[in-house]
Amino acid sequence: MFSISVLFTIIFIIFYLVLTIFTIKIRKSTRIAYGDGNNKRLIRAIRAHGNFFEFTVFFIISSFLLEALDADAIYLLVVNILFVLGRVSHAYSMFKEKLKFRAIGMMTTLFIYILNSAYLLYLYFR
């Protein structure tokens, strides 16, 4: 059985590992083992890593719930792709200090949270 939620969870895990590796590399290059040492580059890496996790967990849960409630497969595919793009945009903005990409990433994330919540409510009460 093909599961869109499983496929994208794998993609999210891989991207989370990439962000983890970036953060570790910056820690090594700055020789800051604990905390952020008030280093702007490390602070941005820590927040990109943390923000990704904070927002992705509930999205993954909502995706699995939607799939369990027989949500439209095309909808699931589109929102998962958009969520990935939004999270990549946000992470990119944190490393490159491009506020436009941060805004795009957060607007995409929040919009999809609203869509998934509304769709879950619809499926729950139908």
State the average pLDDT over residues 97-113. 93
| Residue 98 confidence (pLDDT) | 83
The number of residues making up the chain comes to 126
16-37: per-residue pLDDT in tens?
999 999 999 999 999 988 988 9
Handedness of CA 81, 87, 90, 94 (dihedral sign): negative
Q: Is the pLDDT of residue 126 over 90?
A: no
Q: What distance in Å separates the CA atoms of residue 14 and residue 16, rounded to the nearest whole number?
A: 5
Write down the mean pLDDT value for the chain: 94
Q: What distance in Å separates the CA atoms of residue 85 and residue 89, rounded to the nearest whole number?
A: 6
State the average pLDDT over residues 102-126. 95
Question: pLDDT above 90 covers what percent of the chain?
Answer: 86
Q: Is the pLDDT of residue 1 over 80?
A: no
Among 5, 2, 3, residue whose Cα is nearest residue 83: 5
- What 3-state DSSP class applies to 97? coil
**Model pTM score:** 0.90
Q: Is the pLDDT of residue 112 over 80?
A: yes
| Residue 61 confidence (pLDDT) | 97
Q: What distance in Å separates the CA atoms of residue 89 and residue 102, rounded to the nearest whole number?
A: 6
Q: DSSP letter string over 46-96?
A: HHHHHHHHHHHHHHHHHHHHHHHTT--HHHHHHHHHHHHHHHHHHHHHHHH
53-64: per-residue pLDDT in tens?
999 999 999 999
Among 58, 106, 65, residue whose Cα is nearest residue 85: 106
State the average pLDDT over residues 47-53. 93
Please identify which residue in the block is written with the tokens 């139908």.
Answer: 126
5-15: per-residue pLDDT in tens?
999 999 999 99
